[in-house]
Amino acid sequence: MRTILNLIVAAVLFGIAPAYAQEKKFSLYAVGFYNQENLFDTCHDAGKKDYDFLPTGSYKWNSLKYTNKLRNMSKVLSEMGTDKTPLGCAFIGLSEVENDNALRDLVAQEPLAERGFQFIHEEGPDARGIDCALIYNPKQFKPYNHFLKQYVYENGDTTHATRPFLVVQGHLAGDDVTVVVCHWPSRGVEGKFRDWGGKQVRALTDSIAASKPEMKILVMGDMNDDPDDTSMAKFLGARREMKEVEEGDFYNPWWNILRKDNRGTLSYQGAWNLFDQIVVSKNLLATQKAKDVKGYRNAAMQNSSSLTFYGNEIFQRDYLFQTDGRYKWTPKRTTAGGVWLNGYSDHLPVVTYFIKEQK
């Protein structure tokens, strides 16, 4: 059953109260992304360097730790988006998951299983064996196609391999949607490696849009770059302001959250970064002329005959943070400094909301 919002309810959720609140009804949809921080099972995968996450490995990754990891991550995933829509997210992109076995165990956890969550995953070439995946509620999202697009080292390097881009296509609220789930190269390498990721994803989305102009496109993931880094701002074309978005570009609603509000999804040396982002194609915007958030949301309610971007948030719960010590109020990790913390992830989840008028 969809979450049905009349405009009075929308006013409560988002702090606005349009005068025409009795005239229209809407459905609200949430989608998310969450870096799982090393969701490994306890078994070795042939050809992968997963030795740290074995019972005999450096993390002593046994069934107790794995079971707790599954329980913790499923709790967060099941709660994402539920502050505004009881059904939670229609789909959630994931990074740092090892394989089908870990994903099967994840969606079998009670909070996800009771909603019937399923997963999409293709094995990639990453040396450690970590991949991107998508979990989804089949009552809300109806996938009909998926494939991997390999990341290409543009310097001709054929000896290394990293995470490919997972492309999933399906119907959300009856609209055609493509989601590209990414985990771009880490900060341990030069920025050009992430620039190549932005360039390659832009070529991919340009091709998809050219073949089907009405396709709504989301690019999400752990980009290992902030919104104003060149991989996102220049090569992918994810713009800070709606009025800057041209055909083929994306709107990046996380830019101002980082630079105006000084909030992020991971903390490094006392400063916040916002690597975890969901950007939206131009045809998901209700207008590019609104002067503020209230003005945009009013416009969205008047112009949402198809799926329309409505808002976004960094998902937060007190339990996701360290509450004492040197890293107080930073994300509570699974393991830190060789100590098992029984935490969640070094990243916080993100959620984006869309509305569509009911006919």
166 CB contacts (<8 Å, ≥6 apart)? Answer: 93, 120, 121, 122, 131, 132, 133, 134, 146, 148, 180, 181, 182
Q: What is the pLDDT of residue 251?
A: 98
Q: How far apart are CA 67 and CA 272, in angstroms?
A: 30
Give the pLDDT confidence of 169-219 residue by residue, as tens digits: 999 999 999 999 999 999 999 999 999 999 999 999 999 999 999 999 999
The yes-or-no verdict on residue 351 having pLDDT over 80 is yes
Is 356:257 a contact under the CB 8 Å cutoff? no
Of 95, 349, 90, residue with least CA distance to 197 = 95
The CATH number of the domain covering residues in 32-285? 3.60.10.10
256 CB contacts (<8 Å, ≥6 apart)? Answer: 240
Q: What is the pLDDT of residue 157?
A: 85
Average pLDDT over residues 268-279: 95
Q: Residue 24: pLDDT band by 50, 70, 90 thresholds?
A: confident
Give the pLDDT confidence of 104-161 residue by residue, as tens digits: 999 999 999 999 999 999 999 999 999 999 999 999 999 999 999 999 999 888 778 8
> What is this structure's pTM?
0.95
